[in-house]
């Protein structure tokens, strides 16, 4: 027994004092929760059928397939055959470029059917648990509270709504990394070492975010700017601050260029900012039904409130009824202990950091609810974005910028409870709120899990043997008119990928519609002039085929309810 004492003491010390223990334990909790909800089938690298049965998720998977079968070029993210004869970046299929590039390198040794989206899913959950637990350990110095608190972040509705829908946007661990950096910040010494460290940290996070999804990049930029403002308050050296901002921005530009975000195939037009802004009720509206068959999966405690704009689910950040009660409890605590909290503001450092945090929250919130400010089902007011604020204008789903605020609120609530109450009382209170949170969100997670935890088989809409015959002679698919509905579009694109054909259009987050339309017009002129290509399958929308008589000069067939035309008789 005495021989075991050193190991027992080491283990006890590791559990009580090590941040690594909290990180690993909470990461395991996140991973186990993922498996409980989503099952294990999605972790099978060769199981791809589940990816072909959904809208945006299928787009992400086919984007990976298109990049995989494209030759290497620079910029690195360019795909061939997706907007033929042009190229487009994999960034605009939201296929998680970081993973797409890595597995493209390994592509020669990978099986024909290969997917990494299940791996990405369990990774974001493990990192969500681990990093949130680590942050709570930093602010509370309690292992137990860190573990309990991390479960609120693992139960995040904003992350769960995106996973396997807008999958890349589920990487909320990037937001947590930014919060961690800001929380552990200490007064730094001046010098080039400090400058190098700061620029390296923010350049790395910006690169990571950009290689996953650009919305996350923009959130990182918010944190970086306010972090640097805080640095200026400490150092009062404008040149140092300029370097700390300029180097990461330059790095970001180089990364964006390298993966093809500036490629001419992408649209140069701005999108409608506020197309999906956050509603002012975002934190208390249990409308967590996005991407789940449009079912009302609201709270057993709170009524679902209608949106003022159709797509406002993008800015939904329902805290969960347990966390809402936790926040209310915190407000009550602050009210009754207001003298103590007021005294904290005499600490200039605390006051300054409170101001910086408040400005960060305010800036993100204004961006999220703008430029169309809404409450419940009403638009309160809206305004035009000035032309010089071009960057703002490219974000349709401005509501997503509320996500960092969502997480800051939860960290703050847990910090106040841990700070103002004895540990046993704080643990009891957080467990109570956690149980309510679990009950409140149970139906949401069960319903979403049922979609992905069962093994499914995908059947293409292209049932006719005629398609197999065409695959031997045809090299291109050209869509004329409106794109087919998603199931047909995805089936045809998968058919093209499998048979090394090209398509002239696809469902992309951003694309140059003028360029694509111009190509379609040129193709119709060629058909009119009798110059249709014999190795091309022309696919028409019903309206286009009926409205343009000369298209009937082709040999036209209706195969699986799809109107197809050929130069030669088939």
pLDDT tens digit string along 428-440? 999 999 999 999 9
Q: What is the mean pLDDT of the segment spanning 14-25?
A: 82
pLDDT score for 5: 58
Instruction: Tell whether the model's pLDDT for residue 386 goes beyond 70.
Output: no
Whole-model pTM? 0.92
Q: What is the mean pLDDT of the segment spanning 236-259?
A: 89
Q: What is the mean pLDDT of the segment spanning 130-151?
A: 96
Instruction: Tell whether the model's pLDDT for residue 290 goes beyond 50.
Output: no
pLDDT tens digit string along 53-88? 867 899 999 999 999 999 999 999 999 989 888 889
Average pLDDT along the chain: 87
Instruction: Tell whether the model's pLDDT for residue 14 goes beyond 80.
Output: no
pLDDT band of 411, cuts 50, 70, 90: very high
How many angstroms separate the first and last alpha carbons of the chain?
84
Residue 556: φ, ψ to 5°: -110, 140
pLDDT score for 374: 92
Per-domain boundaries in the chain: 185-253, 466-566
Instruction: Tell whether the model's pLDDT for residue 393 goes beyond 90.
Output: no
Of 110-124, 390-404, 495-509, 543-557, the one with minimum mean pLDDT is: 390-404
Q: What is the mean pLDDT of the segment spanning 456-470?
A: 92
User: Distance between CA 394 and CA 132 in Å, rounded?
Assistant: 31
Instruction: Tell whether the model's pLDDT for residue 347 goes beyond 70.
Output: no
pLDDT score for 475: 94
Q: Let me know: does 143 contact 184? Beta carbons within 8 Å.
A: no
Of 162-166, 216-220, 289-293, the one with minimum mean pLDDT is: 289-293
Instruction: Tell whether the model's pLDDT for residue 502 goes beyond 50.
Output: yes
Q: Let me know: does 69 contact 497? Beta carbons within 8 Å.
A: yes
Q: Is 70 left (phi over 0), alpha (psi -120 to 50) or beta?
A: beta
Only one residue has tokens 């047909």, namely: 488
Q: What is the mean pLDDT of the segment spanning 337-354?
A: 67
Instruction: Tell whether the model's pLDDT for residue 292 goes beyond 50.
Output: no
Instruction: Tell whether the model's pLDDT for residue 308 goes beyond 50.
Output: yes
Q: What is the mean pLDDT of the segment spanning 280-285?
A: 94
pLDDT band of 224, cuts 50, 70, 90: very high
Q: What is the mean pLDDT of the segment spanning 335-349?
A: 69
pLDDT score for 155: 97
pLDDT tens digit string along 37-59? 999 999 999 999 999 986 789 99
pLDDT greater at residue 337 or residue 539: 539
User: Distance between CA 274 and CA 393 in Å, rounded?
Assistant: 9
pLDDT score for 371: 83
**CA distances for 298 relative to 141, 311, 315, 403, angstroms:** 35, 17, 16, 19
Selection from 39, 32, 289 nearest residue 150 by Cα: 32
pLDDT tens digit string along 150-201? 999 999 999 999 999 899 999 999 999 999 998 886 555 556 667 788 899 9
pLDDT tens digit string along 21-42? 999 999 999 999 999 999 999 9
Only one residue has tokens 């690169």, namely: 207
């Amino acid at each position: 027994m005495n021989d075991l004492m050193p190991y027992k003491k080491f283990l006890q010390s590791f559990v009580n004092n090590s941040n690594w223990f909290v990180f690993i334990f909470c990461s395991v909790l996140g991973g186990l929760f993922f498996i409980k909800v989503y099952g294990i089938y999605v972790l099978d690298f060769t199981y791809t059928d589940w990816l072909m049965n959904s809208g945006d998720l299928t787009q992400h998977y086919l984007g990976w397939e298109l990049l995989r079968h494209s030759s290497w070029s620079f910029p690195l993210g360019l795909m061939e055959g997706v907007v033929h004869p042009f190229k487009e970046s994999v960034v605009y299929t939201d296929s998680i470029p970081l993973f797409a590039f890595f597995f493209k390198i390994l592509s020669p040794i990978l099986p024909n059917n290969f997917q990494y989206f299940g791996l990405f899913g369990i990774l974001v959950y493990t990192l969500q648990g681990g990093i949130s637990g680590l942050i709570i350990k930093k602010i509370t110095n309690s292992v137990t509270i860190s573990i309990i608190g991390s479960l609120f972040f693992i139960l995040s509705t904003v992350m769960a709504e995106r996973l396997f829908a807008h999958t890349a946007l589920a990487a909320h661990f990037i937001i947590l990394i930014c919060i961690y950096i800001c929380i552990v910040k200490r007064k730094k010494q001046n010098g080039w070492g400090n400058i190098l460290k700061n620029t390296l940290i923010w350049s790395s996070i910006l690169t990571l975010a950009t290689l996953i999804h650009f919305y996350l990049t923009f959130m990182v930029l918010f944190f970086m700017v306010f972090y640097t403002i805080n640095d200026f308050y400490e150092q009062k050296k404008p040149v140092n601050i300029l370097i700390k901002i300029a180097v990461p921005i330059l790095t970001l530009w180089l990364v964006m260029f390298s993966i093809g975000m500036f490629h001419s195939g992408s649209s140069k037009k701005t999108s409608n900012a506020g197309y999906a802004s956050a509603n002012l009720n975002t934190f208390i509206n249990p409308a967590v039904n996005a991407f789940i068959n449009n079912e009302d999966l609201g709270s057993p405690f709170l009524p679902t409130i209608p949106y003022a704009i159709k797509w406002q689910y993008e800015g939904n950040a329902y805290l969960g009824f347990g966390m809402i009660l936790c926040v209310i409890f915190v407000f009550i605590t602050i009210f009754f202990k207001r003298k103590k909290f007021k005294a904290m503001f005499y600490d200039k450092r605390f006051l300054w950091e409170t101001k910086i945090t408040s400005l960060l929250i305010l800036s993100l919130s204004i961006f999220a609810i703008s430029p169309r400010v809404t409450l419940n089902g009403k638009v309160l007011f809206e305004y035009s974005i000035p032309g010089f604020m071009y960057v703002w204008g490219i974000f349709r789903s401005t509501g997503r910028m509320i996500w960092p605020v969502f997480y800051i609120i939860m960290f703050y609530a847990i910090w106040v409870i841990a700070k103002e109450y004895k540990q046993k009382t704080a643990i009891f209170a957080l467990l109570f709120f956690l149980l309510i949170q679990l009950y409140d969100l149970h139906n949401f997670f069960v319903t979403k899990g049922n979609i992905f935890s069962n093994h499914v088989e995908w059947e293409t809409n292209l049932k006719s043997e005629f398609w197999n015959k065409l695959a031997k002679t045809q090299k291109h698919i050209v869509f004329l008119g409106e794109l087919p509905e998603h199931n047909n579009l995805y089936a045809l694109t998968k058919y093209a990928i499998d048979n090394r054909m090209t398509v002239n259009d696809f469902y992309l987050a951003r694309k140059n519609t003028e360029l694509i339309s111009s190509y379609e017009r040129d193709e119709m002129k060629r058909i009119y002039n009798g110059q249709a290509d014999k190795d091309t399958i022309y696919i028409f929308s019903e309206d286009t085929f009926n409205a343009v008589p000369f298209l009937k000069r082709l040999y036209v067939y209706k195969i699986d309810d799809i109107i197809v035309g050929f130069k030669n008789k088939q």
